[in-house]
Amino acid sequence: MGVVPTIAFKNNTTRISQMNLGFSNDTGTLSISGPNVQEELDTVKAQLQALVSYITSKKGGKVPV
């Protein structure tokens, strides 16, 4: 079996607490505020990059669009 990014996805449940989500239909914008939002975003970005790398390795260097 090939390489699997187990470390990146070992604890794949992201818990977001004390976060306020706001959506305005007038402007079509979404605002997110709360502690650790940037950390959560960075974690998700890293996990997504690991997934893309894994898919790329399985697809011979090409990610389907």
pLDDT at 1: 46
3-class state of residue 63 by DSSP? coil
Task: List the structure tokens of 45.
Answer: 């970005």
Per-residue pLDDT tens over the stretch 5-64: 655 555 545 555 655 555 555 555 666 666 678 888 889 999 999 998 888 888 776 666
**Cα gap 6→21, rounded to integer Å:** 31
Whether 2 and 57 have beta carbons less than 8 Å apart is answered as yes
Taking the C-alpha atoms of residue 32 and residue 63, their distance in angstroms, rounded to an integer, is 30
Cα of first residue to Cα of last residue in the chain, in angstroms, is: 25
Which sequence spans correspond to the domains of the chain?
20-57
